[in-house]
Amino acid sequence: MKNVFLIFAIIILNSTNVFSQKAENKIYNPEANVQEDIELAIKQAINKNKNVMLIIGGNWCPWCVRLHKFIDDNTSVDSLLTANYVVVDVNYSKENKNLVLLRKLKFPQRFGFPVIVILNQKGEQIHTQNTAYLEKEKSYSVKKLSEFFKNWSPTALDISSYKEYK
């Protein structure tokens, strides 16, 4: 009887651990106050001379999860991202579609998911990116993501970085 109880306890503990790991791996939080998150990101962007990148998607979306994993697994891409942007993951799911924000952002979901929106340090929307153009085969392209991150960085958008305008 002790062995049965011990086996049962081990199964329960292992399954609890598996469920808690799955919960920890959630990228998008349907309960997040996205407006507060964006306001905080804008303050951080000002202090660090970065732009804000909103990555809109859901845990239900394989391409959304794949994008995050791709960035995490590629140090050169991740370095460009963290050097130039404060990132906010914006949930879109049946639990919370964040429709007020999406209306304000001119309906970026029309491009599918994930979709990326870049805000400047004033919180103004400066670009919306359909991530299908950043794909390569059944994943993402290091080259395309790197170019995208560079082309919408604060430095690239700073007129003083172009000789012909000095």
Residue 12 in any domain: the answer is no
Q: What is the pTM of this model?
A: 0.84
Residue 52 in any domain: the answer is yes
Residue 25 in any domain: the answer is no
For 124, the token pair is 């103004």
Total structural domains in the chain?
Answer: 1
Provide the domain limits for residue 100. 34-165
pLDDT at 69 (0 to 100)? 97
pLDDT at 25 (0 to 100)? 66
Ranges under pLDDT 70 in the chain: 1-25, 166
How many other CB atoms are found less than 10 A from the CB of residue 54? 26
CATH of the domain at 41: 3.40.30.10
pLDDT at 86 (0 to 100)? 98
pLDDT at 21 (0 to 100)? 37
Residue 150 in any domain: the answer is yes
Sign (positive or negative) of CA dihedral 97, 98, 103, 105: negative
Residue 125 in any domain: the answer is yes
Single out the residue of 165, 154, 145, 159 nearest to residue 52, CA to CA: 154
CB neighbours of 132 closer than 8 A, spacing ≥ 6? Answer: 111, 112
pLDDT at 3 (0 to 100)? 54
Ramachandran bin of 112, using left for φ above 0, alpha for ψ from -120 to 50, beta for the remaining angles: left
